[in-house]
Amino acid sequence: MSNSFPIKRIALFGSTGSIGTQALEVIAANPDKFTAEVLTAQNNDELLIKQALQFNPNVVVIGDERKYQKVKAALASTDVKVFSGEQSLEEVAAMDCYDMMLAAIVGFAGLRPTLKAIEHGKAIALANKETLVVAGDIVMHKAVENRVPIIPVDSEHSAIFQCLVGETRNRIEKIVLTASGGPFLGKKPNYLVNVKRDHALQHPNWNMGAKITIDSATLMNKGLEMIEAKWLFNLKPEQVQVMVHPQSIIHSMVQFEDGSIKAQMGLPDMKLPIQYALAFPHRIANEFPRYDFRKPAQLSFEEPDIKTFRNLVLATDSLFKGGNLPCILNAANEIAVYAFLRNRIGFLDMTDLIERTMEQVPFIDKPTLEEYFDSDAEARNFAASIIKL
Ligand code: NAD
Ligand code: MG
């Protein structure tokens, strides 16, 4: 095995988050296969220092510049390089010291470093779905140009990717993205209107960062994933279907043109898609708990309630219209979730804010990268001004 698996040097962008920490567990369990050469965090200096002392990377980045001195001092006895500030994320993404970037920063902030890594020919394990939602055409084009593989980490997209291994010549009829339905499955607007942040942060099946947990509760996460899937698998919008599957055992499915359906299954545990993306094209033995078909005895499926969870309608609209609309949707959503997490707006207000922002910011059919950045900024400013952030 060791001969067929040369050691892979991983750069974890967003190492202190839910995905980042689980990826470090995978790396720690496979020291003969992976090393962690880059660790980055926005605020959590304590955890970043701890991780750096454990994994001895080439370089760490602390986003918040006020914390630079503290991190630097804590690592003074090591040879770990310490950088700080937004700009250094791109500088580090261009370094030679790693082979694969795990893109696990949350939100639009992940776009620039990921683009830089692609330009430098680095393989990408992509957790940061916002990167593809915002500028999927440019990101995928650059990946092809630089012959860079983009391996999805998002469990649904990992499932589809796994179903497609060995099927490169076969046409996809459609994909079915499964959704847990989140904590408010079956609830109606008269209930949701009173939902507060702590309640929305309780997800039934997955333990994730705050932003994606709220996105799961509003179903925006599934909307973003529809757009992510379109770019990753080169699909037409009408080939992407969403089904609610509350048990989260089938992670997604592909239906081919002969009607045959392949599904990828397992217990909901992000370590599996993370490990798969890091090790691709290999699979690695592990001790993760296995799914037992005797419990839960039943796997169920239902249509999403798009009358209640209107974010899915907005996301579908932007999936079909394309251009800068998904970028606008994403920016407004980031502001909406930020405000909801600070108890500044209600649960249902998030959708209204996104809808208004999508109506306000001018549509551009084929944006340049700069136009995506401008649309993002304009959407954020407009959304923030409405709710007086
Ligand atoms: P998280 O909030 O737990 O962690 C985010 C990480 O990004 C942290 O290390 C943080 O320091 C860093 N970060 C935050 N803002 C930053 C900024 N402005 N600049 C630089 N770094 C910044 O998030 P997460 O749940 O780990 O999710 C990360 C990404 O993976 C998201 O795009 C999410 O949609 C995606 N994802 C997560 C899961 C999951 O189970 N958590 C599943 C599928 C996809
Ligand atoms: Mg997902």
pLDDT tens digits, residue range 26-56?
999 999 999 999 999 999 999 999 999 999 9
With a cut of 50, say whether residue 338 has pLDDT above it: yes
Nearest CA to ligand 1 atom 39: 208
For the CA of 126, the nearest ligand: 1
- In short, whether 206's Cβ falls inside 6 Å of ligand 1 is yes
- In short, whether 17's Cβ falls inside 6 Å of ligand 1 is yes
Ligand 1 atom with the smallest distance to the CA of 22 is: 26
With a cut of 90, say whether residue 5 has pLDDT above it: no
Q: Give me ligand 2 centre to Cα 156, in Å.
A: 5
With a cut of 60, say whether residue 276 has pLDDT above it: yes
Q: What mean pLDDT, rounded, does the chain reach?
A: 97
- In short, whether 248's Cβ falls inside 6 Å of ligand 1 is no
Give the distance from CA 345 to its chain's centroid. Answer: 24
Nearest CA to ligand 1 atom 36: 127
Q: What percent of the chain has pLDDT over 90?
A: 95
What's the predicted TM-score (pTM) here?
A: 0.97
Q: Give me ligand 2 centre to Cα 154, in Å.
A: 5
How much is the average pLDDT of 100-129? 98
Cβ proximity of 78 and 60 under 8 Å? no
- In short, whether 20's Cβ falls inside 6 Å of ligand 1 is yes
Residue-level pLDDT at 389: 85
Q: Within 13 Å and on the Cβ side, how many CA atoms surround 245? A: 22
Q: What burial class does residue 178 get, using C-beta atoms within 10 Å of its C-beta: 0-12 exposed, 13-18 middle, 19+ buried? A: buried
Residue-level pLDDT at 6: 87
With a cut of 80, say whether residue 287 has pLDDT above it: yes
Q: Which of 185, 223, 221, 188 is nearest to 204 (CA)?
A: 185
With a cut of 80, say whether residue 146 has pLDDT above it: yes
Domain ranges of the chain: 8-152, 157-267+293-321
With a cut of 90, say whether residue 2 has pLDDT above it: no
Nearest CA to ligand 1 atom 21: 42
With a CB cutoff of 8 Å and minimum separation 6, the contacts of 245 are 178, 179, 180, 299, 300, 301
Q: What is the pLDDT of residues 309-318, one digit of tens each?
A: 999 999 999 9
Residue-level pLDDT at 180: 97
Q: At what angle do helices 349-360 and 311-321 cross, to 10 degrees?
A: 20
With a CB cutoff of 8 Å and minimum separation 6, the contacts of 134 are 108, 111, 326, 327, 330, 331, 372, 376
Hunting for tokens 């001969």 — which residue is that? 3
With a cut of 60, say whether residue 386 has pLDDT above it: yes
With a cut of 90, say whether residue 203 has pLDDT above it: no
Residue-level pLDDT at 1: 47
The architecture that CATH gives domain 8-152 is: 3-Layer(aba) Sandwich (3.40)
Q: What is the pLDDT of residues 153-173, one digit of tens each?
A: 999 999 999 999 999 999 999
**Mutational test site, ligand 1, from 112, 201, 212, max ligand atoms within 8 Å of CB:** 212
- Rounded-to-integer distance, Cα 243 and Cα 248, Å: 11
**Mutational test site, ligand 1, from 101, 126, 134, 208, max ligand atoms within 8 Å of CB:** 208
Greater pLDDT, 56 or 207: 56
With a cut of 50, say whether residue 104 has pLDDT above it: yes
| Bridge partners (DSSP) listed for residue 308 | none
**Mutational test site, ligand 1, from 13, 61, 67, 106, max ligand atoms within 8 Å of CB:** 106
How much is the average pLDDT of 77-92? 97
Band the pLDDT of 297: cuts 50, 70, 90.
Answer: confident
Q: What is the pLDDT of residues 211-223, one digit of tens each?
A: 999 999 999 999 9
Which of 24-38, 126-140, 200-214 bottoms out in mean pLDDT, i.e. has the lowest? Answer: 200-214
Ligand 1 atom with the smallest distance to the CA of 105 is: 7
How much is the average pLDDT of 186-202? 96
Band the pLDDT of 329: cuts 50, 70, 90.
Answer: very high
With a cut of 90, say whether residue 139 has pLDDT above it: yes
With a cut of 60, say whether residue 140 has pLDDT above it: yes
Q: What is the pLDDT of residues 301-310, one digit of tens each?
A: 999 999 999 9
Q: Which 3 state secondary structure label does DSSP give 226?
A: helix
With a cut of 70, say whether residue 388 has pLDDT above it: yes
- In short, whether 16's Cβ falls inside 6 Å of ligand 1 is yes
- In short, whether 126's Cβ falls inside 6 Å of ligand 1 is no
- In short, whether 209's Cβ falls inside 6 Å of ligand 1 is yes
